[in-house]
Amino acid sequence: MKPVYVTQPYLPPLAEFIPYLEKIWANKILTNGGPFHQQLEQALCEYLGVKHIALFTNATIALVTALQALRITGEVITTPYSFVATAHSLLWNGIKPVFVDVDARTLNLDPERIEAAISPQTTAIMPVHCYGHPCDVDAIEKIADTYNLRVIYDAAHAFGVDRSSGSVLNHGDLSILSFHATKVFNTFEGGAIICHDAKTKLRIDQLKNFGHAGEVTVVAPGINGKMSEMNAAFGLLQLKHIDEAIARRKEIDAMYRELLVPVKGVRCLGDAGEQKANYAYFPILVDGTYPISRDALYDRLKEQGIHPRRYFYPLISDFPMYRGLPSAHRENLPVATVAAQQVLCLPIYPLLEDAQIRRIVEIIAAQ
Q: Measure the CA–CA gap between 42 and 53, rounded to whole angstroms.
A: 8
Which phi and psi angles does 240 have, rounded to 5°? -65, -25
5-237 and 242-365: identical CATH topology: no
229 close to 30: Cβ distance less than 8 angstroms = yes
Every domain of the chain and the residues it spans:
5-237, 242-365
The overall pTM is greater than 0.85: yes
Fold of 242-365: Aspartate Aminotransferase, domain 1 (3.90.1150)
Q: Residue 1 — pLDDT band, cuts 50, 70, 90?
A: low
Write down the architecture of domain 5-237 according to CATH. 3-Layer(aba) Sandwich (3.40)
Beta strands in the chain (DSSP E): 4-5, 52-56, 75-78, 96-99, 122-126, 150-154, 162-163, 166-167, 174-178, 191-195, 212-214, 217-218, 266-268, 282-286, 306-307, 343-346
pLDDT tens column, 129-171: 999 999 999 999 999 999 999 999 999 999 999 988 899 999 9
Q: Residue 272 — pLDDT band, cuts 50, 70, 90?
A: low
What's the whole-number average pLDDT of the chain?
A: 96
pLDDT tens column, 189-232: 999 999 999 999 999 999 999 999 999 999 999 999 999 999 99
pLDDT tens column, 47-71: 999 999 999 999 999 999 999 999 9
Q: Measure the CA–CA gap between 186 and 169, rounded to whole angstroms.
A: 17
